[in-house]
Amino acid sequence: MNKELKGMCLFLGVIGLGYAALLLSIMLFTGVKIFKSVVFIFTFSSFLVSLGLTAQVKQRIVQLVKSKISGSRI
Q: What residues does each domain of the chain span?
A: 3-72
Rounded Cα distance, 74 and 72, in Å: 6
Whole-prediction pTM = 0.75
| Residue 47: HSE in the Cβ half-sphere, 13 Å Cα cutoff | 6
Per residue of the chain (74 residues), give pLDDT as tens: 788 998 999 999 999 999 999 999 999 999 888 889 999 999 999 999 999 988 888 899 889 889 988 876 65
